[in-house]
Amino acid sequence: MTTAPGRPVDPRPPVDPGPPVDPASAGAAAGAARALLDALGPEQREALRGGALDDPRRREWTYVDGRHPGLVLGDLDGGAREAALALLATAGDARDGGSGVVAGALELERVRQQLAAEQREAGTPLDPASLEGRDDPDPYALRLEGDPADGAWAWRVSGHHLAVHVTLVEARVHVTPHFVGAQPAVVPRGPRAGWRLLGPEEDLARDVLAALDGDRLAVARPSGTAPADVLTGTDPVADPEVLPRGLAHRDMPPVAQRSLEALVQRYLARAPAAYAAACWEEVLADGLGGVELTWLGSLERGEGHYYAVRAPSLLLELDDTQHGADHVHTVWRHLRDDFGGDLLREHLRAQH
């Protein structure tokens, strides 16, 4: 669908006032960023600095394994490391596990590397079904864009199975695109045996399906084949039209509706409490009835599956098909607020 030849429709909703003012979260982030800058030498400060806020390349992002541009967490110690971890913690609300999912991704990567090291020491070939990836202490890169002393600035962290983009505009906090992966999906042994970093994200969707009768399940699950990854990928602007249609909240029985609501709120809990609450109010204002869940792939645990949740303001995806369905990808995209959205554009326009 186009408005003029060759000009695609922008899938985002119109300009909106955006998230609420959240001086506590914005202040904590700015304080941690300043502490980090103060703890670094000139070369490390240069590595930390990213591009300008109006650089269109800000929308380029990835979650694949490998070296990412920025200041590598594994190269930090002492006060610099403490400040960097404090900055990461400001991305979410610790009271509801929000910031825990970022810290959990870092911990799970260390668990994965320990499992791989144990196999090497035992002379056992590495199992590609659960131990893909390099061994590199905390292989996550942190970048600052803009100045924490200004009215608009941003930071991001990216690396193996983690890509979180936080933009702060006039004390309003945006946290998307927000990608977290888990490999292994279930820790097989050791002190964290049985740990599923992204277990609730899968279980709540399964609770929805379990409450559906055959006809409704057929609408929610239009195909038994799951895609190889999340369908929005690393698109600069998430397009809801790439997602298959599923079963709407209004057509679900009450128990399934409650599970779908809990699933959406589980993703929103990755954000600071004020922004999470605002996003939920936005979902309610748009109408819960139109929120759709689509499941593709197997219904059996341990077999490849995918789901998407589609609402007027956001997209959620989970894919667990790679390496024997022991390799989970999840992403939250906001159709207005990704990378600061309209509020950042209006701020930059006013400054110039």
Amino acid at 199: G
- Give residue 12's pLDDT: 42
Contacts of 86 (CB under 8 A, 6+ apart): 28, 32, 35
Q: According to the model, what pLDDT value does residue 1 have?
A: 36
Distance CA(238)–CA(22), nearest Å, equals 25
Among 185, 15, 157, which Cα is nearest to 92's? 157
Which amino acid belongs to residue 14? Answer: P
Cis amide bond preceding 272, omega within 30: no
pLDDT of residue 80: 97
* Stated pTM of the model: 0.90
Q: Give the pairing of strands 178-182 and 172-174.
A: unpaired
Crossing angle for the helix pair 78-89 and 23-39, nearest 10 degrees?
A: 160
Q: How far apart are the first and last CA of the chain?
A: 33
Mean pLDDT per block of 10 residues along the chain (352 residues) reads 39 54 94 97 96 90 90 95 96 72 93 87 61 71 94 94 95 95 94 95 98 98 97 95 96 98 96 94 97 98 97 97 94 95 78 65
The strand pairing partners of 143, in sequence order, are 156
Q: Enter the tokens of residue 25.
A: 């979260």
Phi, psi (degrees; rounded to nearest 5) at 9: -70, 135
Q: How far apart are CA 190 and CA 328, in angstroms?
A: 20
Q: What is the pLDDT of residue 126?
A: 52
| Residue 221 vs residues 217, 224, 244, 350: alpha-carbon distances, Å | 6, 7, 10, 46
Contact (CB, 8 A) for 230 and 329: yes
List the domain boundaries for the chain: 19-188, 199-339
Q: Which residue has the tokens 């936005």?
A: 282
285-295 CB burial, b ≥16 within 10 A, e <16: eeebeebbbbb
CA distance 299 to 297: 7
pLDDT confidence of residue 275 = 94
